[in-house]
Amino acid sequence: MKMSATTVRRGLYGMFAGGLFAFGSAAMVTPVVNAQPAPTQDSTCSVSAIATTSSTVAASTSTYLAANPEANQALTQITTQSPAEPTQAFSAYFEQNPQVESELKAINQPAAEISNQCGVEVNPTPISEALTDA
């Protein structure tokens, strides 16, 4: 049986193309097969989770204080005092207004939880810090 030069060339080209295809497939699959899974990290302690919690607590605190103008005014006055005085002033205010303290603690609870869980300080507002100290 005689083969023409064209038939032989087509066969060789086909084998060459098939070899390239097989090599290309192996080159693409090998890195995927050898890839190690990414180390898992507790997403609760990611910077984005902390930022989300912080912004949510700050927004909720803002909403609460806007709805309670007397508390807003009193706490605003406290925050404008010298750095040594607000801690005592916040404590005195919260002693006189336990319901406000309770409601603000509930609002700030997610920040306190993420602080404890992740070992970072999360104080989205001056009131958050005061509630942590109280």
Give per-residue pLDDT as tens, 1-46: 555 555 545 554 555 555 545 545 444 544 444 444 444 445 778 9
Tell me the percentage of the chain whose pLDDT exceeds 90: 43
Q: Which CATH number fits domain 44-133: 3.40.50.720, 3.40.630.40, 3.40.50.300, 1.20.20.20?
A: 1.20.20.20
Please give the helix or strand (H or E) that residue 7 lies within, else none.
helix 5-34
pLDDT for position 37: 45
pLDDT for position 113: 93
CA distances from 7 to 19, 36, 130 (A): 18, 46, 87
Query: What is the number of other CB atoms lying within 10 angstroms of the CB of residue 78?
Result: 19
Averaged pLDDT of the chain: 77
**pLDDT at 74 exceeding the cut of 90:** yes
Say if CB 93 and CB 74 are below 8 A apart: yes
Give per-residue pLDDT as tens, 37-70: 444 445 778 999 999 999 999 999 999 999 999 9
pLDDT for position 65: 95
Residue spans per domain, the chain: 44-133
Tell me the percentage of the chain whose pLDDT exceeds 70: 64
What pTM did the predictor assign?
Answer: 0.64
